[in-house]
Amino acid sequence: MRNLEFSEQITYYQLLVYTEDYKTPDWFKGGIMYQIFPDRFYKGKSIVPEKGKWLHDNWNEMPEYRMNEQGKVLNNDFFGGNFDGIVQKLDYLKGLGITVIYLNPIFKAYSNHRYDTGDYMQIDPLLGNDADFDNFITECERRGIAVILDGVFNHTGDDSRYFNKYGNYDELGAYQSKDSKYYAWYNFKHFPDKYESWWGIDVLPSVNESCDSYANFITGTDGVIDYWIRRGVRGFRLDVADELPDEFIEKIRNAAHAARADALIIGEVWEDASNKIAYSKRRKYLQGKELDSVMNYPLKDAIIKFLKSENTEVLREAIAQLRDNYPKCVLDSLMNILGTHDTSRILTVLGGMPAYNKDEMNVTVMSEEVKTKAKEQLKIAAVLQFTLFGVPCIYYGDEIGMEGYGDPFCRHTFSWDKIDNDLLGYYKRLGKMRRYLTLFRDSEYRELYADEKCLVYERAAGDQQVIVAINLGNNLFDIKFNGKLFDLFDNDVFEGKFTILPKSCAILSNLRLNI
């Protein structure tokens, strides 16, 4: 008899222990999120840029990507997108069924991405003033749209009120003097020129979140979290959550809930957040005291691999792992993405066009043949994004067929003059479906059938039922069922059987929705 190795005799299971009162905001569930990179969405009233920043004359130009003579990309080119511009397009977003807007950073900063915070308490002047922000919040609320902000609390900018490396602020910064009230916020290796920074990028000096004065500034009474939520924000997405101590994230959540009981806290976590180990420490993200949700990168990656390999195994495995590992309240609140400001656009990924350097990325576009195939795959990806557990998040412009490789090409201005109306119409219908069907708030997922090329699953609650069928094979695929179902896209009725075409998908329901 062969002796088995220990590893061959054991099956591993994960049990996540979380607090009994762990709840996530009900208002978020069943909705649709839309991510906006503020400078690139829409230009409203003209605003003059500050010194050291320059404004593109042509909205459709590519963002600047070339290095200067010192080998740095300054990220100081702007297109003029602002709050007034977003307000002018809120009805467009309402037509998509959007219920939540997630804004990339809006606080005063030097760069166009604004992850180099200059002042946590001030709107960046290029986006508008306090009145513009208040009007934006008011107009969103009038349309039933919530707003969450990007919370960048692991680092600030070197050109900030707190660090003040260049003396542009009227307050003594940590770089300028050890007597600065902000000095303890930063970790200097050799004052003043050597200091810890995010991933070694010297324009992003890291802060010490364990410093009481910094923690109080962010999470205390009248602190950053309290201030912005009381101004109408419904929550925060925490940038680089892995870099934030668990204790600090808990303070953020407590501060948010003190200001508003149903505030939402989402973490940027790229892996399985239930068992994440960061910097040799097991994280406590989903134990009930920190995050309500995370960006669902595992599902995004699985959807892409599924479509490229035309094999359901990787997707089914990802779905099973998420369902096994995540608390139900988190599962229903997952931020389901297909792309973000940190990734290539989903259409470009599905198109698979190679580009080996930024000069090539700047000019490479898909042929019509490649784009047509990628667009059909994107429709399938969107169906998964909108019908699986969690909340779909559209990255601005994906719904109109925008292309773009990684940063900065994924941050191109919204192509208002090049809208793919077929794709946009598809997204609008998915939005109507989620608006009409409440089952997407918290219903269970049930796999009905799967083979290598086909996947069929059900979402059902009360008297509502949806069956999603995907066929990546080259042959027709028949679904058999009892009773009568409606094709939500064609509105045709089928009794007992439905045939799915190759390389396509369908959404069937027991209800006729006329979407």
Residues paired with 457 in a beta bridge: 447, 468
Catalytic residue at 268? yes
Sheet holding 493-500: strands in order across?
444-450, 454-461, 464-471, 504-509, 477-487, 493-500
How many helices (H) and strands (E) the chain has is answered by: 14, 22
CA 128 to CA 259: how far, in whole Å?
Answer: 25
And the tokens for 360?
């090539």
Sequence-ordered list of residues with C-beta below 8 angstroms from that of 71, at least 6 positions apart, any chain: none
CA 283 to CA 281: how far, in whole Å?
Answer: 6
Catalytic residue at 196? no
- Residues 456, 447 contacting (CB under 8 angstroms): yes
Count other C-beta atoms under 10 Å from residue 277's C-beta: 10
- Residues 189, 181 contacting (CB under 8 angstroms): no
Cis amide bond preceding 25, omega within 30: no
3 state SS of 479: strand
Residues paired with 45 in a beta bridge: none
Long-range Cβ contact pairs of 355-363 (< 8 A, separation 24 or more) = 355/405, 358/65, 358/66, 358/409, 361/65, 361/405, 361/406, 361/409, 362/62, 362/65, 362/409
Residue of 388, 412, 389 lying closest to 401 (CA atoms) = 412
Sequence-ordered list of residues with C-beta below 8 angstroms from that of 129, at least 6 positions apart, any chain: 123
Q: How far, in whole angstroms, is CA 60 from its chain's centroid?
A: 24
Count other C-beta atoms under 10 Å from residue 357's C-beta: 7
CA 168 to CA 374: how far, in whole Å?
Answer: 47
The answer to whether the Cα torsion of 443, 444, 449, 453 is positive or negative is positive
Looking at residue 414, what DSSP letter applies? P
- Residues 341, 411 contacting (CB under 8 angstroms): yes
3-state percent helix, strand, coil for the chain, nearest multiple of 5: 30, 20, 50
- Which one of 84, 150, 209, 239 is the catalytic residue? 239
CA 325 to CA 294: how far, in whole Å?
Answer: 13
And the tokens for 464?
């509502």
Q: What residue type is assigned to position 127 of the chain?
A: L
Q: Give the phi and the psi of residue 486 in degrees, each rounded to 5.
A: -110, 140
Maximum CA extent, the chain: 81
Task: Give the residue numbers annotated as catalytic, written as ranges.
Answer: 239, 268
